[in-house]
Structure 1
Amino acid sequence: MRALVAAGLVLVVTACSSPEPGGTAPSKAPAPRGLKVEEVAGGFQHAWDIGFRRDGSVLVTERPGRIKLVRDGRVTPVDVDLGDVQARGEGGLMGLVIHPDDQRFTVCYNTADDVRLVTFRLDGTKATKVKDLLTGMPSNQSGRHSGCRPTLAPDGTMYVATGDIAQARNPQDRTSLGGKVLRIDPETGEGAQGNPFASSGNANERRVYSYGHRNVQGVVFRPDSDQVFSAEHGPDVDDEVNLLRAGGNYGWDPSKGGTQNRYDEDVPMTDRQRFPDAVPAVWSSGSPTEAICQAAFWNGKLAITALKGSKLLLFTLDGTGRVQDVSIPAELDDSYGRLRAARTAPDGSLYITTSNGTDDKLLRLTGGV
């Protein structure tokens, strides 16, 4: 068993970091002042992701298999055929990203057979399927570890965060799309040019950007930088914030080198004994976990929602991507329950969703500098 860090909120934010060797743990920082939380809309059920349109409206996905359009506080169901969505446990309709043409959007969801990315075209409040962008991502019938969230990169490629579906060999198997961060062409679904395994004879491996992940919940790009960060669920300890490297192995291996099929969650989140070159996290929750979720940059800080922790964590980073301190705004500390989505709006505000299962909210954050 791994050594556990003592529980307690102060330790979570002050002493539970896993910096590079020789680094120091981040300190607790004062929460930002003047934070304003506005309830934009409510009545959602497990609101999973958010997309902004040029006219100011917002698309919101709901895990049971619905998409809502929010305009001026009014919520309108989108007429879209999502009859093949299988909502079980953690799975269902999940991530969403709007394409630059402002008409197409891509969602990620579980079917009876797989997890897939599907692109639709929106006309008013009706969405028509364009294509299956990527099919065959592994799926657990229970929905466990089905995390799947697409995000468009500044270079126009699409990054896709995936869960390992609690199958022991997936994270270290580069021919499996589970337990990975993928980088694909948003038009074809194929591996993007310049990917670390672009010369592989296996199409799935050509899509892989990083591997050895457990259940990645979100990927975000630091403004005016080439840095890419991910937020990832740990087992009973060690949620992780990772600075992604092309081709990097992040060290999760519940198969113990392929020696067992049992999903052994007593292995380290980043196993540097088995994988000396595994990339260490820039921050780790220690114990207890927060079930950190989506990440966004807001007011110069890395903002990450927490499901179990029911809070928003704000990370101050230095130029290299190391965590300097962490703060928790009181306005969102167990005030709205479980927090899931986080996307920075075009006007600079931060939108987040709650994920409590009934009357979930779309929240807008301003101020807090």
Structure 2
Amino acid sequence: MDPQRLYPAVSLTLLATVITVTAPLSGQAGPRGAGVSTSTVYESARHDFRVTTVVEGLDHPWSIAWLPNGDMLVTERPGRLRVVRDGKLLPESVAGVPHVRVRGQGGLLEVLPHPDFSTNHLLYLSFAKPNDDESLATTAVVRGRLENHRLVDVEEIFEAKAWARGNSHFAGRMVFDRDGYLYLSVGDRGAAPNLMAGHPSQSLSQHQGTIIRLRDDGRVPTDNPFVDERGAMPEIWSYGHRNPQGMAVHPQTGEIWENEHGPRGGDEVNLVQKGANYGWPVVSFGVNYDGSVYSTDTHRQDIESPVWTWVPSIATSGMLFYTGEEFPWWQGSIFVGGLRGEQLTRLTLEDQRVVSAETLLAGVLGRIRDVRQGPDDFVYLAIDNRRGQGLTQVVRLEPEAGGVAPPR
């Protein structure tokens, strides 16, 4: 990746600092895709840090979450929900997980505890759902109560009207906002971008390429933007998305932010607005995979512009607003994982503008699928393989002893 081709999309004249950090300060980095070494100190603009392996031997980890008792939950894309307890991966996966379509990008996706998990023990799972003969699939959500290492009273609360034969662009990220509403990203399911205005992401009559908003039991909130629009799916909160792979709640404002894949270029970070159209594919910073241009527009007055874009693409994934005490100079930063880029990006915000971007761990760990802040305030990463080498693990970023690095 060429970091000099990262562009802030709100205004192409905005001056932003772009810093690439790929080399360790000390110690020896292992072979690309090998396990991490705690003797290696990595340099950052504000904090130097080490990377510690938390658990290895996972099969395409997709999502990380924690329970109030300290257990870490990890989804494996082939359809398993795993538990890490006291630093050990329990041998048996959680029972009661729904049948998922495990092809291409499909499988078990996000795990999300209910905000009141301590009292109701509810977990939410997003997944690629097959039809009866496995010829089609869509994105769906179930919830169930976690009891004795098993999900019970499992019920499907949402099935996207996004059925397709392909095995890509399921999206599936979920967050709860401050008011207890559930947001889910649904991808465009790989629909051809040359459809332009006829692309399903530009239609409200199905769920492809949308962020949806639900009550915690799957009911539609009465204040959703398209509830009263004839022919529109009432669950839709925003549309015109491609493949949203990360979503997070702003810690101060409570706003929903997301990131999504462009095609060849044009990955985005967006502030999700009620009823807004994010433009895919009629407006984009990317081009087709064969290099052909399907749209010359990067902005349009009736389209919500991204806060940040990547050209070329890094294949964005998990997303985090850091709020912890272990890295005080990172507070308020957005962290975004990269799959194709095999990197972690830190974005510094002022109001709703990105004023600097820093690339961390480029090529060191592999495909960074999820990014989370743990209950210990460390930053956790789910590593989903490295170009077929099979290394899948969860690692943790810890500050280097000696505290804060001087600004560089």
Task: For 1:86 and 1:227, locate their aligned partners in 2 and report how far apart those are by CA, in whole Å.
Answer: 32
Q: In the alignment, what sits opposite 1:31?
A: 45
CA 1:192–1:349 in structure 2 vs 1: closer, same or farther (change >3 Å)? farther
2:268 touches 2:309 (CA, 8 Å); kept in 1? Answer: yes
**Could you tell me which of 253, 262, 268 is aligned with 1:225?**
253
Q: In the alignment, what sits opposite 2:115?
A: 100
Q: In the alignment, what sits opposite 1:170?
A: 200
1:242 touches 1:283 (CA, 8 Å); kept in 2? Answer: yes
Q: In the alignment, what sits opposite 1:307?
A: 339
CA 1:219–1:348 in structure 2 vs 1: closer, same or farther (change >3 Å)? same
CA 1:270–1:190 in structure 2 vs 1: closer, same or farther (change >3 Å)? farther
Task: For 2:272 and 2:163, locate their aligned partners in 1 and report how far apart those are by CA, in whole Å.
Answer: 24
Q: CA deviation at 1:265?
A: 7.9
Q: In the alignment, what sits opposite 2:367?
A: 338
Count the aligned residue pairs: 344
Deviations 1:290-329, CA, capped at 9 Å, x for gaps: 001111111320000000000100000012x110000122
State whether structure 2 residue 102 is matched by structure 1 residue 87. Answer: yes
Write the letter of the residue equivalent to 1:327: E
CA 1:266–1:104 in structure 2 vs 1: closer, same or farther (change >3 Å)? farther
Task: For 2:384 and 2:216, locate their aligned partners in 1 and report how far apart those are by CA, in whole Å.
Answer: 28
1:270 touches 1:280 (CA, 8 Å); kept in 2? Answer: no
1:225-304 mapped onto 2 (5 Å cutoff)? 225-253=253-281, 266-268=293-295, 272=299, 275-286=300-311, 288-298=312-322, 299-304=331-336
Q: CA deviation at 1:346?
A: 3.0
Task: For 1:344 and 1:296, locate their aligned partners in 2 and report how far apart those are by CA, in whole Å.
Answer: 7
Q: In the alignment, what sits opposite 1:42?
A: 56
Q: CA deviation at 1:271?
A: 5.2
Q: CA deviation at 1:24?
A: 0.5
Q: In the alignment, what sits opposite 1:353?
A: 382
Task: For 2:348 and 2:235, locate their aligned partners in 1 and report how far apart those are by CA, in whole Å.
Answer: 31
CA 1:86–1:277 in structure 2 vs 1: closer, same or farther (change >3 Å)? same
Write the letter of the residue equivalent to 1:112: P
Q: CA deviation at 1:91?
A: 0.9
Task: For 1:335 and 1:101, locate their aligned partners in 2 and report how far apart those are by CA, in whole Å.
Answer: 37
2:178 touches 2:254 (CA, 8 Å); kept in 1? Answer: no
Q: CA deviation at 1:269?
A: 9.5
Q: In the alignment, what sits opposite 2:396?
A: 364
Task: For 2:177 and 2:190, locate their aligned partners in 1 and report how far apart those are by CA, in whole Å.
Answer: 28
CA 1:104–1:237 in structure 2 vs 1: closer, same or farther (change >3 Å)? same
Runs of 4+ in structure 1 off by over 4 angstroms are: 268-271
Task: For 1:48 and 1:70, locate their aligned partners in 2 and report how far apart those are by CA, in whole Å.
Answer: 14
Q: CA deviation at 1:40?
A: 1.0
Write the letter of the residue equivalent to 2:305: P
CA 1:142–1:170 in structure 2 vs 1: closer, same or farther (change >3 Å)? same
CA 1:10–1:218 in structure 2 vs 1: closer, same or farther (change >3 Å)? closer
SS class of match (2:48): coil
Q: CA deviation at 1:255?
A: 12
1:94 touches 1:108 (CA, 8 Å); kept in 2? Answer: yes
Write the letter of the residue equivalent to 2:108: L
The range that moved more, 208-217 or 161-170, is: 161-170
Unpaired runs of 5+ residues, structure 1, are 1-7, 257-263
SS class of match (2:167): coil
What root-mean-square deviation, in Å, do the aligned CA atoms of Structure 1 and Structure 2 show? 2.4
CA 1:81–1:269 in structure 2 vs 1: closer, same or farther (change >3 Å)? farther
Q: CA deviation at 1:17?
A: 2.2
Task: For 2:227 and 2:236, locate their aligned partners in 1 and report how far apart those are by CA, in whole Å.
Answer: 9
Q: CA deviation at 1:196?
A: 1.7
1:254 touches 1:265 (CA, 8 Å); kept in 2? Answer: no
Q: In the alignment, what sits opposite 1:184?
A: 214
Q: CA deviation at 1:214?
A: 0.5
**Could you tell me which of 105, 116, 127 is aligned with 1:109?**
127
Write the letter of the residue equivalent to 2:126: C
SS class of match (2:109): strand
Q: In the alignment, what sits opposite 1:318?
A: 350
Q: CA deviation at 1:276?
A: 2.9
1:135-154 mapped onto 2 (5 Å cutoff)? 135-154=159-178
The range that moved more, 118-127 or 61-70, is: 118-127
2:162 touches 2:206 (CA, 8 Å); kept in 1? Answer: yes
Q: CA deviation at 1:219?
A: 1.4
SS class of match (2:200): coil
Task: For 1:366 and 1:100, locate their aligned partners in 2 and report how far apart those are by CA, in whole Å.
Answer: 27
Task: For 1:163 and 1:43, locate their aligned partners in 2 and report how far apart those are by CA, in whole Å.
Answer: 29
CA 1:316–1:74 in structure 2 vs 1: closer, same or farther (change >3 Å)? same
Unpaired runs of 5+ residues, structure 2, are 20-43, 132-137, 193-198, 285-290, 323-330
Q: Among the aligned pairs, what percent are the same residue? A: 28
Write the letter of the residue equivalent to 2:244: V
CA 1:67–1:116 in structure 2 vs 1: closer, same or farther (change >3 Å)? same
Q: CA deviation at 1:239?
A: 0.5
Q: In the alignment, what sits opposite 1:259?
A: none
1:139 touches 1:146 (CA, 8 Å); kept in 2? Answer: no
Write the letter of the residue equivalent to 2:266: D
Task: For 2:52 and 2:340, locate their aligned partners in 1 and report how far apart those are by CA, in whole Å.
Answer: 22
Q: In the alignment, what sits opposite 2:142?
A: 118
TM-score, normalising length from structure 2? 0.78
Write the letter of the residue equivalent to 1:170: P
1:91 touches 1:147 (CA, 8 Å); kept in 2? Answer: no
Q: In the alignment, what sits opposite 1:17?
A: 8
Q: In the alignment, what sits opposite 1:214?
A: 242
1:242 touches 1:280 (CA, 8 Å); kept in 2? Answer: yes
Q: In the alignment, what sits opposite 2:135?
A: none
Q: CA deviation at 1:367?
A: 2.9
